[in-house]
Amino acid sequence: MVTIKDIAKACGVGVSTVSRVLNNRPDVSAEVREKVLLEVRRSGYVPNNSARDLGRNQGNTIGVVVRGTGNLFFADVFNKLTDEADARGFSVIPRFIGSDDDEIQAGAYLEREKRLRGIIFLGGRFDYTPEEMSVIGVPYVLCTYSNEFGTLPDDVYSSVSIDDYHTARTAAETLIGLGHRKIAALIPSTADHSIGELRYRGYLDALSAHDIEVDPQLTAETGSFDLDAAYERVRRLIEENSDFTAMFAVSDTMALAAMKALQDSKRSVPEDVSLLTIDGIQISGFTNPSLSTMVQPAEEIGRKAVDLLAEVLEGRAHRHLLLDTVLRRGGSIAECRTSRPDR
Amino acid sequence: MVTIKDIAKACGVGVSTVSRVLNNRPDVSAEVREKVLLEVRRSGYVPNNSARDLGRNQGNTIGVVVRGTGNLFFADVFNKLTDEADARGFSVIPRFIGSDDDEIQAGAYLEREKRLRGIIFLGGRFDYTPEEMSVIGVPYVLCTYSNEFGTLPDDVYSSVSIDDYHTARTAAETLIGLGHRKIAALIPSTADHSIGELRYRGYLDALSAHDIEVDPQLTAETGSFDLDAAYERVRRLIEENSDFTAMFAVSDTMALAAMKALQDSKRSVPEDVSLLTIDGIQISGFTNPSLSTMVQPAEEIGRKAVDLLAEVLEGRAHRHLLLDTVLRRGGSIAECRTSRPDR
């Protein structure tokens, strides 16, 4: 059985240096790191991680429940989140569940199985009650969402997300600023007590603030975030209402499906219809035209989620962070032509 | 403390029924399932999972090392893989690592930490040696790739993937069949002992088989799967070589970057350049035009990986599966116009 001492001896370094390499600490030269890793590989040495876990991770494991693994935006958040947790010495145990699964139950199970110190929920419902959350016995952070439709007191949980309502309102006002007044909305639901409803409210209030009458026929509900459903719904919207000049879509992927539907119906984007959305995943910069989108700071959201949990574990108070979005102006929005008949 | 008996009594069902609901078994009516879950929620009951783990999972935990979390194709495979593992009663412990990280070391660590029965590697190098893999002490399956450039004997590991070489060859021959002879290739590397090299070989042999001289200038290497790098490389290719009429791209996401570069350089797809690729992620059906792509059976790959591991754990031999791809003919390929001057 190869030991850490054998590795240190073979490399001519101390045991603590080998340990630093194995724990991926930065304070080791690239040369030494490579030498140690080569020797580890060559010798077949595997650290006794059960022992390491006991020493390092006693009470330092956090769970991450990811709801909706098909959400491309979550991938960016998750990667940064695990990086940050690792940098802070946390062990992360992730659990992936479907977008219709119950994240509270998943979190409660994970907590009991793994003796977690805390939980980060990446995606979930917006309407928790204290009774529901009583099954969670450790501090938790809502990541990418908050509890706008629920009854949790602010001081029992932490959260980090963008301000969905104001971001959507800014998006709709951007379209209005380009002269658009017939602006369609593409959302899963206007009343799902979730992100769709929040963003729809922002859209409605932007219209109201500019004295634009809301045309209910321009609200296209899809029932889900499914791309095929979004595509079909937009095709139908075009058949039924031919006079909108802009569309606010609830997310990048929904917007991609909408753009395809518009183009397949011979509507040019942005010449005939401007399209603006929220998220800012990488791929939407490579579409034709590229999407204009309110970019969520995915990496910062992931990092802050870990920060917030660490604060609470250190005995500090729960906090709620709303991070800013930035408009990435792609090629999918333009001035409204019909609003300038003199040109 | 609420027990499973309390739940059963409150719902007027047997303990075994509650257990089936909690373990997500199919043989329970929707009505009963809902009643039990509501009562579980209401009562704050949490199963004693430590006990459950001991009973159910002793020796039934498998690890899944996912290398390259930004790979959109992996998300589909991973989801199906975990579903299938769950259906077979395995506990799955995933570990996510970067695309440049060492999956063997990650697997070895995971094995010792969690006392795994087996490991599925989702993504990894194609050139393992028996010495390297000797740090893995449990059966393992290579998922989405195999060991074409390595020296592992076939009977020490299992694998499931598409046939990268033949799929690429079929893709290139599809373009040749449309009359194209000046066909560019977009790949990370021609000699990386990995998927890029395999697919490039298929491309080269398709050209040779049709007596098309290979123009090295039409091989665009990017050094990685990064979308920005792919975009810039294709822009440069167009500046340097204006006469290719088709492109074979190594993957869907690389093809999306290529399409953007072509369009930004005023090349229409497919009128000026046909574009064909391999993977078949959902989003590439919603681009403009939609991508033509050789679709990998992501769900079947995920399911088969678990099947193969289960077989070996039951004492059967290692196997190597090559699954078929199917051309999804989107809007990005067309007959070559320059090859039909008489039209």
> pLDDT of A15-60, one tens digit each?
888 887 877 666 788 788 878 888 877 777 766 544 444 334 457 8
Q: How confident is the model at residue B343 (pLDDT cuts 50, 70, 90)?
A: very low
Q: Find which of B80, B84, B113 to mutate to test the A interface (most A CBs within 10 Å of its CB).
A: B113
Average confidence (pLDDT) over A103-131 = 91
Q: What is the ipTM of this complex?
A: 0.74
What are the residue ranges of CATH 1.10.260.40 in chain A? 4-47
Rounded to whole angstroms, how far apart are CA atoms A259 and A238?
12
What are the residue ranges of CATH 3.40.50.2300 in chain A? 59-163+297-324, 165-296
Neighbours of B179 (CB within 10 A): 16
Rounded to whole angstroms, how far apart are CA atoms A119 and A65?
7
Rounded to whole angstroms, how far apart are CA atoms A238 and A74?
31
- Tell me how close the Cα of A46 comes to any Cα of chain B, in angstroms: 7
- How many CB pairs (< 8 A) connect A and B? 110
Nearest to A288 among B47, B49, B260 (CB): B260
- Tell me how close the Cα of A189 comes to any Cα of chain B, in angstroms: 22
pLDDT of residue B57: 42
- Tell me how close the Cα of B95 comes to any Cα of chain A, in angstroms: 8
Label residue B26 exposed, middle or buried (CB < 10 Å: 0-12, 13-18, 19+): exposed
Helix/strand/coil for B279: strand
Say whether A287 and B227 touch across the interface (CB within 8 A): no
Cα–Cα distance list, A115 to A59, A133, B155 (Å): 7, 17, 39
DSSP code for B273: -
Based on its alpha-carbon atoms, the radius of gyration of chain A, rounded to whole angstroms, reads: 24
Fold assignment, A165-296: Rossmann fold (3.40.50)
- Tell me how close the Cα of A224 comes to any Cα of chain B, in angstroms: 16
- Tell me how close the Cα of A126 comes to any Cα of chain B, in angstroms: 17
Say whether A49 and B227 touch across the interface (CB within 8 A): no
pLDDT of residue A47: 61
CATH number of A4-47: 1.10.260.40
- Give Cα A216 to chain centroid, integer Å: 29
Rounded to whole angstroms, how far apart are CA atoms B227 and A284?
11
pLDDT of residue A98: 78
- Among chain B residues, the shortest Cα distance to A82 is held by B96
Report the Cα–Cα distance between both ends of chain A, in Å, rounded: 82
Rounded to whole angstroms, how far apart are CA atoms B192 and A213?
59
When comparing pLDDT for B132 and A30, which is higher?
A: B132
Neighbours of B341 (CB within 10 A): 6
Rounded to whole angstroms, how far apart are CA atoms B256 and B264?
12
CATH number of B165-295: 3.40.50.2300
- Among chain B residues, the shortest Cα distance to A282 is held by B227
Say whether A288 and B259 touch across the interface (CB within 8 A): yes
* Cβ atoms of A304 and A160 closer than 8 Å: yes
Task: Tell me the sheet residues that pair with B185.
Answer: B219, B248
Helix/strand/coil for A314: coil
Q: Find which of B21, B288, B290 to mutate to test the A interface (most A CBs within 10 Å of its CB).
A: B288
User: Which residues in A lie closer than 8 A to residue B47 (C-beta atoms)?
Assistant: 109, 112
When comparing pLDDT for A215 and A37, which is higher?
A: A215
- Tell me how close the Cα of B211 comes to any Cα of chain A, in angstroms: 35
Report the Cα–Cα distance between both ends of chain B, in Å, rounded: 82
SS3 content of chain B, % helix, strand, coil (to 5): 45, 15, 40
- Examine the pLDDT at B279 and tell me if it is beyond 60: yes
Label residue B6 exposed, middle or buried (CB < 10 Å: 0-12, 13-18, 19+): middle
- Give Cα B241 to chain centroid, integer Å: 32
- Tell me how close the Cα of A92 comes to any Cα of chain B, in angstroms: 9
User: Which residues in B lie closer than 8 A to residue A36 (C-beta atoms)?
Assistant: none
* Cβ atoms of A62 and A85 closer than 8 Å: yes
CA angle A9, A11, A15 (to 5 degrees): 55
Which residue matches tokens 């719904």? Answer: A233
Lowest mean pLDDT among A58-62, B258-262, B269-273: A58-62
pLDDT of residue B53: 41
- Tell me how close the Cα of A317 comes to any Cα of chain B, in angstroms: 25
Nearest to A69 among B46, B79, B257 (CB): B79
* Cβ atoms of B52 and B60 closer than 8 Å: no
User: Which distant-in-sequence residues (6+ apart) come within 8 Å of A278 by Cβ?
Assistant: A162, A164, A167, A168, A171, A199, A250, A251, A252, A293, A294, A296, A325
Tens of pLDDT, residue by residue over B14-66, are 888 888 787 766 678 878 887 888 887 777 776 654 444 433 445 789 999 98
pLDDT above 70 as % of chain A: 92
Q: Find which of A46, A84, A109 to mutate to test the B interface (most B CBs within 10 Å of its CB).
A: A46
Tens of pLDDT, residue by residue over B189-238, are 999 999 999 999 999 999 999 999 999 999 999 999 889 999 999 999 99
According to DSSP, the β-strands at B326-328 and B292-295 are antiparallel
pLDDT above 70 as % of chain B: 92
Say whether B132 and A75 touch across the interface (CB within 8 A): no
Nearest to B112 among A46, A288, A290 (CB): A46
User: Which residues in A lie closer than 8 A to residue B78 (C-beta atoms)?
Assistant: 69, 96
* Dihedral (CA of A161, A166, A168, A170) sign: negative
Can you read off the two tokens belonging to residue B60? 């039934």
DSSP secondary structure string for all residues of A57-80: ITT-EEEEEEE-TT-HHHHHHHHH
User: Which residues in B lie closer than 8 A to residue A109 (C-beta atoms)?
Assistant: 46-47, 49
Can you read off the two tokens belonging to residue A53? 């876990």
User: Which residues in B lie closer than 8 A to residue A135 (C-beta atoms)?
Assistant: 41, 44-46
Can you read off the two tokens belonging to residue A51? 């022992």
Rounded to whole angstroms, how far apart are CA atoms B233 and A220?
39
CATH number of A59-163+297-324: 3.40.50.2300
Q: The domain B57-162+297-324 belongs to what CATH superfamily? A: Response regulator (3.40.50.2300)
Average confidence (pLDDT) over A193-202 = 95
User: Which residues in B lie closer than 8 A to residue A231 (C-beta atoms)?
Assistant: 286
Asked if residue B270 has a cis previous peptide bond (ω within 30° of 0), the answer is: yes
* Cβ atoms of B124 and B106 closer than 8 Å: no
User: Which distant-in-sequence residues (6+ apart) come within 8 Å of A85 by Cβ?
Assistant: A62, A64, A91, A92, A306
DSSP code for A102: -
Predicted TM-score of the model (pTM): 0.79
Say whether B79 and A96 touch across the interface (CB within 8 A): yes
Helix/strand/coil for B92: strand
Rounded to whole angstroms, how far apart are CA atoms B188 and B212?
23
Tens of pLDDT, residue by residue over B60-108, are 899 999 887 667 788 789 888 988 998 898 988 888 787 788 999 999 9
* Cβ atoms of B313 and B297 closer than 8 Å: no
Can you read off the two tokens belonging to residue B123? 């993504």
Say whether A46 and B109 touch across the interface (CB within 8 A): yes
Rounded to whole angstroms, how far apart are CA atoms A180 and A172?
9
Say whether B109 and A282 touch across the interface (CB within 8 A): no
Total length of chain A: 343
Rounded to whole angstroms, how far apart are CA atoms A336 and A255?
19
Say whether B96 and A79 touch across the interface (CB within 8 A): yes
Which residue matches tokens 């194209």? Answer: B180
Say whether B288 and A259 touch across the interface (CB within 8 A): yes
Rounded to whole angstroms, how far apart are CA atoms A311 and A314?
5
User: Which residues in B lie closer than 8 A to residue A227 (C-beta atoms)?
Assistant: 282-283, 285-286
- Tell me how close the Cα of B115 comes to any Cα of chain A, in angstroms: 9
pLDDT above 90 as % of chain A: 65
User: Which residues in B lie closer than 8 A to residue A130 (C-beta atoms)?
Assistant: none
Can you read off the two tokens belonging to residue A284? 């939407």
- Examine the pLDDT at A267 and tell me if it is beyond 80: yes
- Among chain A residues, the shortest Cα distance to B82 is held by A96
Say whether A113 and B260 touch across the interface (CB within 8 A): no
Rounded to whole angstroms, how far apart are CA atoms A101 and A99?
6
Which residue matches tokens 């090859």? Answer: B339
* Selection from B115, B118, B138, B107 nearest residue B62 by Cα: B118
Say whether A78 and B69 touch across the interface (CB within 8 A): yes
* Cβ atoms of B268 and B305 closer than 8 Å: no
Say whether B260 and A75 touch across the interface (CB within 8 A): no
- Tell me how close the Cα of A93 comes to any Cα of chain B, in angstroms: 8
Can you read off the two tokens belonging to residue A138? 């450790």
Which residue matches tokens 């753009």? Answer: A259
Average confidence (pLDDT) over A178-185 = 98
Tens of pLDDT, residue by residue over B137-160, are 999 999 999 999 999 999 999 999
- Examine the pLDDT at B252 and tell me if it is beyond 70: yes
pLDDT of residue B114: 79
Q: How confident is the model at residue A164 (pLDDT cuts 50, 70, 90)?
A: very high
Say whether B286 and A257 touch across the interface (CB within 8 A): yes
Say whether A46 and B135 touch across the interface (CB within 8 A): yes
Rounded to whole angstroms, how far apart are CA atoms B73 and B325?
14
Helix/strand/coil for A276: strand
pLDDT of residue A305: 98
- Tell me how close the Cα of B35 comes to any Cα of chain A, in angstroms: 15
What are the residue ranges of CATH 3.40.50.2300 in chain B? 57-162+297-324, 165-295
Say whether A287 and B282 touch across the interface (CB within 8 A): no
Say whether A256 and B44 touch across the interface (CB within 8 A): no
Nearest to A113 among B50, B69, B132 (CB): B50
Tens of pLDDT, residue by residue over A283-305, are 999 999 999 999 999 999 999 99
Tens of pLDDT, residue by residue over A87-114, are 898 988 888 787 788 999 999 988 887 7
Rounded to whole angstroms, how far apart are CA atoms B160 and B158?
7
Q: How confident is the model at residue B314 (pLDDT cuts 50, 70, 90)?
A: very high
Helix/strand/coil for B248: strand
